[in-house]
Each structure stands twice: as C-alpha cells, then as structure tokens.
Amino acid sequence: MKPHRLVLLGPPASGKGTQGQLMAEAWHLPITSTGEILRRESTLGTPLGLETDRYTSLGQLVPDEVVIASIADWLDANADAGFILDGTPRTLGQATALDALLEKRGTPLTDAIFLDVPPAVIEDRVRLRLMCARCGRTFRLGWQVQEKTAACPQCGGTLERRKDDDPTTLAERMSAYAEKTAPLVQFYDARGLLRRIAADQAVEKVFAQIAAALGRAEAEKEAAPRP
C-alpha cells in the first residue's frame, strides 16, 4: 500500500477532525492542523511561536509564509511515512506554497479529501458539537457522548461548547470559507487529487467512503467508530 499524504478539506463542522482521527488511528499516520502547530509553537516559546504571537496579538492573520514554515518544521519531525493535514491549507496561496514545499521534499500529495456537507447539516452539527477543554478533541452530543456533562471519552477532561459555535460566528466562518477555502476544491480537482465524499451521513459511512476512495475499504473494520 502506497503511503498516504493527504489534505482534508471541508466547511466548518464537516467532520474533518473526526474523520482525520479515524484515518490516523486506522492507518498509523501523523495528523495535525495549522492551528495545532502554531498553538504548540507559541506554548513552547519557539522563534516561530513568538512570530505567530506577534501577529495574533495585533488581531492579524498569520501570513502564508509563516504557516508554510510551521508545516515544514512539522513534516521534518513527523512525516517520513505519510501524513494527514486537517483543514490545511486554507487559501490558494498556502496550497501553492505547500505544493512547492512537498515537491522539493519529494513527497507530493497523494489525495485531497473533500467532505461535502449541506449548510443545514452544518448548522445542526454545530448545535450538537462539544470540545474537550483538555485534549481539544471534538465529540457529537447524542452519538459519541450522551450528556453535556459527560467527561471526555479520550482523556476524561471537561466537555464544553466551542466559543465560535454560535450562529453569528458560524455565518462569518462560512463566509470566510466560501471566499478563501472553497476554491481549493477546484484547485485540487484540476490536479486529479480530489476525492469528493458525501459527508452528510453517519460517521462510519463517511469513513467507509473515504477508505474506499483511497483503496482501503478494509479499514472500515480496522477503525469502525464506536458510540
């Protein structure tokens, strides 16, 4: 089986975090997102983290070159045998720079997984989404956890609603996605890398679609989601 070098695309609440973790666990691939990398660098106080803090403290977006530098550092440390980038890249500029970085490393992307979800489903998912304050993993109320007061199934931490999971913020995030990130679908489709997944279904069915699209249909049994 060839190594998978993947990017996960999709609107907010499309299931990128959930499906990314299932793939990572099933196929033993490292996974990260730009936000996770930059938060870690900031916590460690590295030069990259300090540069990131300089922009975020002013309310500014982190420039593409800083984002790509953070991904390059993470790839050097984690991605010898494949990887998953969750929600990264987010703009055409980042996608072009990432392509150049990976070509230089001799590790070009193998697939871009696009989780396609209607807006009405996204709104419902946001309403039911909880995040662990300790480990950052997300869970869906009524499927992975049964009560809002339940402890995180992964680490025992406190589950809470994300601060950006409100109607006004969601509308803003969807607008930003449509403007900056949605064009990546065409970008990767033109390169023959896009795998479009109907992600408005049960988690296990979405995972089975992804596995089949990657020639890993047997992985449905390896990592079937459990309630």
Q: How many residues does the chain have?
A: 227
Select from 117, 114, 113, 93 the least CA-distant residue to 170: 117
How far, in whole angstroms, is CA 138 from its chain's centroid?
11
Of the residues 5, 173, 195, 216, only one is catalytic, namely: 173
Has 173 been annotated as catalytic? Answer: yes
Of the residues 16, 125, 195, 216, only one is catalytic, namely: 16
Has 162 been annotated as catalytic? Answer: yes
Select from 200, 115, 132, 123 the least CA-distant residue to 169: 123
Has 125 been annotated as catalytic? Answer: no
Of the residues 162, 180, 196, 205, only one is catalytic, namely: 162
76: helix, strand or coil: helix
Has 216 been annotated as catalytic? Answer: no
Of the residues 129, 137, 195, 216, only one is catalytic, namely: 129
CA distance 216 to 24: 13
101: its two tokens:
């970085």
Select from 9, 12, 11, 8 the least CA-distant residue to 20: 8
Has 90 been annotated as catalytic? Answer: yes
Which residues are the active-site residues?
16, 90, 129, 162, 173
